[in-house]
Structure 1
Amino acid sequence: MPDPALQRYLAEHYISGPKSDAILKRYGDDGQKKKKRKKREGADGGGLLIQDEATVWFGEEAPAEEDEEEGVAPDFSISDVSVPSTSSKPSGWKSVRAAGPDVAQAQETPAQAPVPIKAGLMSREAIKAQREAREAQHAHETQSAEAHAAAQEAETTVYRDAQGRRINVEDEETRIRAEQLEAERKDKERKVWGQGVVQRRAKHAQQAEQQAVQEEGVVRHADDARMNDILKEQIHPDDPAKHFLTRRAGRRAVRPTYEGPPPPPNRFGIKPGYRWDGVDRSNGFERKLFLKLNANERLRAEFQAWSAEAM
């Protein structure tokens, strides 16, 4: 059984309201009547107020404990319990200043916390209140996100071109990136078309060969048709059947030759026919070259004859 003196002391100094009256009535007040403290309307910034989460979120009051005394229904809401100040006076608190915007904001802070989920049986009103609290929280978060996005958009730097038109930085970066990709694609195509037809065919054949080898297994058996065909096509220099198994090269095509009048001479000895029709289309260098060579040869022959004439 709790100590009556302790309960009476706590009711006189630390508890107010109907609960204090109920405790004093139960354990006696020794003929001393306790002054009822007037409930102050609103919140002032002089002390600390503790409230239950249920009263904050759902607007419900904590259930009152059953009292043994008849006709007494004390209110055990935690909001009636106040923390005494450090002052030596046991009387009421002294308000230093009125509640400012900071205090109001601090009191609204718990409303922005996540809505707690209650377990167990719940009444219809409690479920409705919980749903409304979640919707209110979602609306508050949406409004905060929109305000934050609007603030960021207001702080965003605006870029304009020479004509004064507004430039979207993201669209401009996307356009520049697309141009770079297009230039890279054209460069690759230019490199591909710069190769010869034979080189491209050889490259495609090599890629097909690599793909076929990649799809094959590592193990080789005696009945592997592809491997046998590759081995059959190989020709060894010491093979005794090389002479009659080697396919003879077909007769080469004979290109047409020039059958007209004698063509003008050229220093490379090219004959008219497949590549040249025998017509001199130069600037006359070949003709002058041969005339000079012939003149030098004639002078050399004459000098040789003159030197041997005295003999």
Structure 2
Amino acid sequence: MSSSLAEYLAKNYLTADPPKKKGGLKKRKRKEKDAATTSSSSGLIIADDDAAGWENTAANSDDDDGPTISGMTKSFKKSTTSNWKTIGGASEAAETAAADAILAANTDGRTEDDAPTVADDSLAVKMSSGAHAGLQTAAQIAVQMARAKEEERRRFEATDPAESGKGQETIYRDASGRIINIAMQRAEARKKIREEEEKKEREKEMVKGDVQKLQSEERAKRLEDAKYMTLARYADDTELNDELKDRERWADPAAAFLTKKKGGGTSKTGKPLFAGAAQPNRFSIRPGHRWDGVDRANGFEAKWFQAQNRKNEKSRRAYETQMDLD
């Protein structure tokens, strides 16, 4: 059966190609000779049982470099051993292993995609704000600026205070460059302010009269006595009654015979007063004992009292009218 199959293949598929060109035929013959030599030397046997659908491609192909079937034997037999062999042998395998070892040593067993990124950005081009130059996202710029600010803060804290001037007192100089003693200047400024305040107080005391000074002293004394005074003062309070009796009222009709003072009496300052009648004034100040009884004023006091009387009368009538309407 094998001989009939070989005859069938030789008859239908191993027909020689017709020569087309002289040069092409020589070239094809040379290729067939080389292929036959290679196949015979390597011992390659083509054993294909499914050969029923083959066509004569060599007869229909016009390409001189097209594939050709050559080196075929008349008898096909099944090969029991593999005829493939490794090119290069043990030497090539050793070279490949050495190259892999060098690669593993340089990359530490990682590929290019898995290689670690460089954390130190000292080689990157930075701007004055601390951010890297180039196209970046807003989040990256914010992180870089925050990192630069933190580094500047740590660097400032690590700097010697003597060099950075931290905690040192400011040195002031005048126009000529001499150092100004700030402590002395501040002491002089405080002294000047204190003198100005004392001057203002003296001026206030100078414009006051003797009676106003005595009233201020009495007010201060009453405030001091109020610390030890009871909260409620009743009608039988002797101190309160004596104070009310000693108070002088110019319109009091009983002042002439209830007073214990002889003559005009004395003022609060201890000076004698005029014994006769005198026109009142808005300060309730009585004339001295040397007054001759002649009113030498310009009449302002009388007009002031008249204006006060009109104002009080107007307020009283308005109140009474409102009460009648209600």
- TM-score exceeds 0.5: no
Q: TM-score, normalised by structure 2?
A: 0.28
